[in-house]
C-alpha cells in the first residue's frame, strides 16, 4: 500500500505568482493562484495554451520558485514527488529497467530491491518483456509507459503529470487513460494532472480546475460527480456531458479572449510596419 494510507501528500498553494524575465521582457506567467489539494486527491488542471499550467506544476515540484506566495506540501518522505512530462523524460542511453529503477538508485535503494520494484511496475504496465530493451526500440506509447512505471516505482506521495499523453495518437491515448484510471484507483495517491483534453480531465480526476488566460488564475473548480471505482463508461452519461460543457464554456471565453489579444497584437505590429 502506498504512503497515502498515512494521509500525506496534501498540497497548499497560497497567493502564488510567477514572473519570468525583467523590464520590457518581463512575462507575468502565473497568478495569483490559491489551490488546496487533499492527500490522495486527483486534480486535473486545464487552461488555455501558455496560461501557466506547467509553471504551476514546476513550482509545486520545486523546479522553480514562486516570485511571491508560498507552497506547502504535507509529505513525510525524502523524495515525495515524481513528475511525468509530455516528452517522456527517459534516458536514451539507459535500458528500460535502468530507466525505471533510476529514481530508486538516486534514493539509494539497494539494486536488488530496486530491480524487483521496477520489474513489478513494468509487468503491471505490460512491459515485462522489455526490461532489457533500449528506449529507441519502443513505440511512443511504450516509452510513455516507461516514464509512468518510473514515477510509480518511486512510490511518490505526490505525482505531477504535465500533459503526459499529448504526444500520443488518439487510440493509444485512450488506452493509457484507461490504464492510468485503473492505476490511480488501485493505488491512490495525490495527483496533479495537466491536460488540454476536458474529457481526459473529467474521466481521471476527482476535481477539475480551469485556469484563465495568462497570467493563469483559477476561474472554476468543479467536483467530478462520479465516485470510485469508475469505468470509462461514465463518458456516455449526461452528467459527464454537462460538466464537459460547463468547463468548455468557461475555457472557451478565455481562449477567445486570448485569440483576440493575439490578433490585436499582430494587427498592431503590421500597422506599425507599413
Beta carbons of 81 and 157 less than 8 angstroms apart: yes
* Whole-number Å distance between alpha carbons of 152 and 100: 9
246 exposed, middle or buried (CB, 10 Å; 0-12, 13-18, 19+)?
Answer: middle
Which of 5, 7, 20, 140 binds ligand ATP (CB under 6 A)? It is 20
| Residue number, 21 or 267, with CB nearest to ligand ATP | 21
DSSP code of residue 212: P
Contact region with ligand ATP (CB under 6 A), list: 46-54, 141-149, 168-176, 222-230 = 46-54
List the one residue from 44, 54, 147, 153 that touches ligand ATP (CB under 6 A). 54
Using rule CB under 6 A, residue 50 touches ligand ATP: yes
Q: Is the peptide bond before 32 cis (omega within 30 degrees of 0)?
A: yes
Q: Any bridge partners for residue 35, and if so which?
A: 13
In the region spanning residues 204 to 263, those forming contacts with ligand ATP, defined by CB under 6 A, are: 214
Cα four-point dihedral sign 89, 93, 99, 104: negative
Q: Given the complex with ligand ATP, which of 157 and 200 has the nearer CB atom? A: 200
- Among the candidate windows 6-14, 52-60, 95-103, 129-137, which touches ligand ATP by CB under 6 A? 52-60
The residues pairing with 46 across neighbouring beta strands, listed in sequence order, are 210
Q: How far is the CB of 195 from ligand ATP (least distance, A)?
A: 9
Q: Which three cell numbers stand for residue 84?
A: 511525468
Q: Is the dihedral of CA 219, 223, 229, 230 positive or negative?
A: negative
Q: How far is CA 244 from the centre of its chain?
A: 19
Whether the CA torsion 251, 252, 258, 259 is positive or negative: it is positive
Candidates 12, 27, 69, 89: give the one binding ligand ATP (CB under 6 A).
Answer: 27
User: Exactly one of 9, 31, 40, 47 binds ligand ATP (CB under 6 A); which one?
Assistant: 47
Which region, judged by CB under 6 A, interacts with ligand ATP, from 43-51, 112-120, 226-234, 260-268? 43-51
Interface size with ligand ATP, residues (CB under 6 A): 13
Q: Which stretch, 45-53, 97-105, 242-250, 254-262, contacts ligand ATP (CB under 6 A)?
A: 45-53
Q: Which helix (H) or strand (E) holds 146?
A: helix 140-153
Among 3, 53, 101, 173, binds ligand ATP (CB under 6 A): 53
Question: Which residues here bind ligand ATP, judged by CB under 6 A?
Answer: 20-21, 27, 29, 47, 49-55, 214
Amino acid at each position: 500500500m502506498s504512503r497515502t494510507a498515512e494521509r500525506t501528500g496534501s498540497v497548499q498553494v497560497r497567493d502564488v505568482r510567477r514572473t519570468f524575465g525583467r523590464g520590457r521582457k518581463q512575462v507575468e506567467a502565473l497568478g495569483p493562484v490559491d489551490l488546496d489539494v487533499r492527500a490522495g486527491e486527483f486534480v486535473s488542471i486545464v487552461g488555455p495554451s501558455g496560461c501557466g499550467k506547467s509553471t504551476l506544476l514546476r513550482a509545486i515540484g520545486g523546479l522553480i520558485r514562486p516570485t511571491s506566495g508560498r507552497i506547502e506540501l504535507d509529505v513525510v518522505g525524502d523524495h515525495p514527488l515524481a513528475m511525468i512530462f509530455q516528452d517522456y523524460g527517459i534516458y536514451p542511453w539507459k535500458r528500460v529497467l535502468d530507466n525505471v529503477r533510476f529514481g530508486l538508485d538516486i534514493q539509494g535503494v539497494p539494486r536488488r530491491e530496486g530491480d524487483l520494484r521496477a520489474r513489478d511496475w513494468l509487468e503491471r504496465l505490460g512491459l515485462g518483456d522489455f526490461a532489457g530493451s533500449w528506449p529507441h526500440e519502443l513505440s511512443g506509447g511504450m516509452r510513455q509507459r516507461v516514464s509512468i512505471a518510473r514515477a510509480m516505482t518511486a512510490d511518490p506521495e505526490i505525482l505531477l503529470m504535465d500533459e503526459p499523453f499529448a504526444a500520443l495518437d488518439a487510440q493509444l491515448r485512450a488506452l493509457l487513460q484507461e490504464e492510468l484510471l485503473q492505476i490511480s484507483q488501485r493505488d491512490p495517491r495525490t495527483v496533479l494532472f495537466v491536460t488540454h483534453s476536458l474529457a481526459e480531465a473529467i474521466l481521471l480526476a476527482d476535481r477539475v480546475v480551469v485556469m484563465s488566460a495568462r497570467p493563469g488564475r483559477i476561474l472554476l473548480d468543479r467536483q467530478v460527480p462520479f465516485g470510485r471505482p469508475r469505468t470509462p463508461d461514465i463518458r456516455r452519461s449526461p452528467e459527464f456531458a454537462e460538466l464537459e460543457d460547463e468547463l468548455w464554456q468557461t475555457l472557451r471565453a478565455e481562449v477567445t479572449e486570448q485569440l483576440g489579444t493575439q490578433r490585436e497584437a499582430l494587427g498592431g505590429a503590421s500597422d506599425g510596419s507599413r
